[in-house]
Structure 1
């Protein structure tokens, strides 16, 4: 295993924090997401998309020879899912011409909804999580992020009735 792959897969070793490394990684994803959003929603979207192949590479490298296909310290998937959940915030702030942090309720909703779907493994999140390969590791969090993003959009719609 390469040191770079380990650093990427664990998001700078955040994955070794206990308890709940996935929650720690989701929290770290928020300021990292804010930083990535400084280049606008298109750059944020591209960076989010790039996290998938980066995460696949790092996870394959880190889990080679490991007894588990999804060790708890591998948390790049949580960052990817959290960033997917933040998509409505990035695009909503841009569309409204508002500062990113003015949409603070969306940030909170994205975090809480993503953790909800990621922890409970509802429906397709659970189906993907049960895949015994790197795609199960990465894609369950993408789907949890999509479900959370839909929840963020729905809550924003209710807030602006």
Structure 2
């Protein structure tokens, strides 16, 4: 099997951590996303998402080629991309307000919990994408879960900042 594909799909073997490799994948997405933001700001972070998606799609295709299991648990690049999408509104707010990304720590927690909830329960379109039974479906279910989580992060931020403050 292609070593580069395995490194990408498992996010440097994080996907082999037990238990709950998807949760480990989501967790590793946080410091990697923070590092990308620190290096290049909001726009580099935003650009990393489609680039990571395309690389992840390719790596997932390589790892699942000829296998019955279309979504092996060690593939966690999809969780990384979904988690980054959930974090996108947070980094946008940090960029707009020119504050430390760590200052919005409640947003980090909300993004993580909401993304994991949508990824695990697979409601509506998340479940539809998961049932595709191919590499694109592996990536898309987490993208959609990330979008749902991002929408909830924005709603919670609006509730907190506009109503409670």
- The normalised TM-score by structure 1 is 0.98
Residue 32 of structure 1 corresponds to 32
Question: 1:123: Cα distance to partner?
Answer: 0.7
Question: 1:52: Cα distance to partner?
Answer: 1.0
Q: Secondary structure at the match of 1:55?
A: helix
Residue 7 of structure 1 corresponds to 7
Greater mean alpha carbon deviation, residues 143-152 or residues 56-65: 56-65
Matches within 5 A, 1:90-129: 90-129=91-130
Q: Secondary structure at the match of 2:114?
A: helix
State how far apart, in whole Å, the 2-side matches of 1:56 and 1:49 are. Answer: 10
RMSD value, Cα: 0.7
Question: 1:133: Cα distance to partner?
Answer: 0.8
- Uncovered stretches (5+) of structure 2, i.e. residues with no partner: none
Q: Which runs of 4+ in 1 moved over 2 A?
A: none
**Is structure 2 residue 47 aligned with structure 1 residue 61?**
no
Question: 1:40: Cα distance to partner?
Answer: 0.7
Question: 1:64: Cα distance to partner?
Answer: 1.2
Question: 1:44: Cα distance to partner?
Answer: 0.3
Question: 1:67: Cα distance to partner?
Answer: 2.1
State how far apart, in whole Å, the 1-side matches of 2:78 and 2:23 are. Answer: 11
**Structure 1 residues 90-136: Cα deviation after superposition (integer angstroms, max 9, x where no partner):** 10001111111101011000000000000000110001101011111
Q: Secondary structure at the match of 1:71?
A: coil
State how far apart, in whole Å, the 2-side matches of 1:97 and 1:80 are. Answer: 24
- The normalised TM-score by structure 2 is 0.96
- Uncovered stretches (5+) of structure 1, i.e. residues with no partner: none
Matches within 5 A, 1:47-86: 47-86=48-87
Q: Secondary structure at the match of 2:140?
A: helix
**Is structure 2 residue 28 aligned with structure 1 residue 22?**
no
Aligned residue-pair number: 161
